[in-house]
A = this chain, B = another copy of it.
């Protein structure tokens, strides 16, 4: 474990644009680090795909990022984390972080009542990854999950506030709290949801703490680099490459709606041989 300052970039992978929330937190906390983001938009969303397909696509995408000589790999994708993290860790030659565990640990630290709610896509809910990770952090906690299929399309359409967004969030949280009224910590188990965080906090009310994976995963990446002594020796702002396997114009439109003017020029790359 070479404990030397390391100028190489951090690789961030998502099936699409959602992982940009993790990238944004990483860059906010570690502005000197260079980053390479890969969105496998040509094959997104991963959620509905069978597990072996998710694993194969994730491994191809990760191989592409490793070929860019990254020092740390962040799976900023709940589906890839819940279905492929152990496999990626077996093949990767650098440390690998997923998004599930950091959020689960923060939720376990946050709840007073011992009741945690998780909202996520249908695929992530079905995987049970968050419930398992919260239980691993503290087996005494009660976890209630709810799939919120309308939220990702809503975020990608730029609807982060207003009556439609509020109606959707109010409907989902109403369902969740009807199942367990003692929930006092709400874990956002999808990388798109941090963009709805102000609205979700407003609807959930002050009694409920909202924990998001983007924030907690960025903290975990910072901790890992510090434990390894592997921060960049450079002090200026790091480079920020964003790459998609899909259509650049479509990616830029969706990502731009969501991230505004800070988005750099997006590149296209193929991660498969064909």
Contacts and interface: CB of A to CB of B under 8 A. Distances in A.
Contact of A224 (B2, B102, B109, B227): B227
Interface string A194-221: 0000000000001101010000100110
Which bucket holds chain A's interface residue count? 20 to 34
Nearest to A2: B1
Nearest to A91: B3
Contacts of A216: 109
B109 A223 contact: no
Contact of A110 (B102, B209, B219, B224): B209
A93 B1 CA distance: 7
Given A90-B229, A109-B216, A112-B209, A3 B223 contact: no
A169 to B, nearest CB: 19
Contacts of A207: 112
A71 to B, nearest CB: 8
Contact of A219 (B95, B105, B107): B105
A92 interface: yes
Contact of A89 (B3, B101, B223): B3
Contacts of A137: 219
A97 interface: yes
A106 interface: yes
Contacts of A223: 101-102, 105, 220, 223-224
B109 A211 contact: yes
A23 interface: no
A228 B95 contact: yes
Contacts of A96: 227, 229
Contacts of A69: none
15 contacts: A1-B1, A1-B93, A3-B92, A3-B94, A95-B227, A102-B223, A105-B219, A105-B223, A109-B110, A109-B211, A109-B216, A112-B206, A112-B209, A220-B223, A223-B223
Given A95-B229, A109-B209, A110-B110, 4 more contacts: A96-B229, A105-B223, A109-B216, A224-B224
